[in-house]
Every structure is written in C-alpha cells, then in structure tokens.
C-alpha cells in the first residue's frame, strides 16, 4: 500500500533537492579554478564567461543563453538581498557606461556584506571575485535565479 507524504515533508524534500543542485553547481564550477580564459570558449580547455556558466548549468540539464547579453531575461530576476548561492550574477562589460549585460558569473556565497562569485576572467581565467571590488561594484546589473 502506498503512503502519502505529509505536506511539510514534501517541502523539506524539495528544499533538499534544491540545496543539492546548488551544492552541485558550486562544487562543479570550482573544479575549473585556474582554467584559462578563451574567447568563445565553452569547454574545459578554456571558457569565456557565458560559456563557463552554460557548461556548469548544462550538467543539470539547463540550457543557458549563448551570450552574456541574453541573460537579462533568463531565469527570474531576484533582488540583491534575496541572492543565494547558485544564482547567476550579471554585470556590464568593460564599458561601465554600457546599458547591456556583458559579463556573467555564478554566486558561491551571499551575505548582507558582500556577494562572492566564480567566473571566467579575461586576465585570470576561472577565478573568484567579490561584488564589492572596485571593478565589479559599478558594473553590477542584476541577479538571475535558475535553480528554483
């Protein structure tokens, strides 16, 4: 005979599944620390920013946009205060005055003081950075949630 799972237990199971996805995304992404930047790169031999995010999320079956500029409508927008690990953080590119998204990364830690993310840096390859840095703070655009 099949038994029915109580509603709170279902919520707990769903939350555990989401936490599993988040941990998986972060742990998988961090395997590539130090991998070189490659313009248009979408594989472990070298990544650009959208190629890196796409490769990581593809491991869970998500198909992300091919270009960082297309992340403006991917997933759902969340506030900075609601940001959590596994979210995609979006920035303007090299031109701080540009209106479009030109760079993306994956949030690995979020707290009221700062957001830490992993991304493909032109100069450092796959690396960690902070939103509070002098370079990224003025370029911040939005946060997108894919793992609901």
Query: For residue 31, what are its two tokens?
Result: 């395997």
128 in catalytic set? no
103 in catalytic set? yes
- Whose CA is closest to 86, among 68, 122, 59? 59
**Left if phi > 0, otherwise alpha if psi is -120 to 50, otherwise beta: which for 55?**
alpha
Do residues 141 and 95 touch, judged by C-beta distance below 8 A? no
Q: Indicate which residue of 90, 97, 116, 119 is catalytic.
A: 119
DSSP labels, 51-83: HHHHHHHHTTT----SSGGGGGGSSEEE-GGG-
d(CA 89, CA 142): 6
119 in catalytic set? yes
Q: Indicate which residue of 49, 90, 97, 148 is catalytic.
A: 49
Q: Indicate which residue of 90, 103, 116, 128 is catalytic.
A: 103
What is the set of active-site residues? Answer: 49, 103, 119
């Amino acid at each position: 005979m099949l038994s029915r799972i109580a509603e709170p237990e279902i919520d707990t199971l769903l939350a555990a599944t989401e936490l599993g996805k988040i941990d998986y995304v972060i742990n998988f992404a961090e395997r590539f620390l130090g991998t070189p930047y490659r313009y248009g790169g979408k594989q472990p031999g070298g990544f650009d920013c959208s190629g890196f995010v796409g490769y990581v999320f593809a491991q869970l079956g998500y198909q992300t946009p091919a270009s960082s500029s297309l992340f403006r409508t991917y997933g759902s927008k969340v506030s900075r205060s609601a940001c959590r690990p596994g979210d995609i953080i979006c920035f303007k590119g090299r031109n701080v005055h540009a209106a479009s998204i030109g760079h993306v990364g994956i949030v690995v830690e979020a707290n009221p003081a700062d957001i830490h993310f992993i991304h493909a840096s032109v100069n450092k390859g796959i690396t960690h950075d902070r939103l509070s840095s002098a370079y990224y703070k003025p370029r911040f655009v939005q946060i997108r949630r894919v793992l609901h």
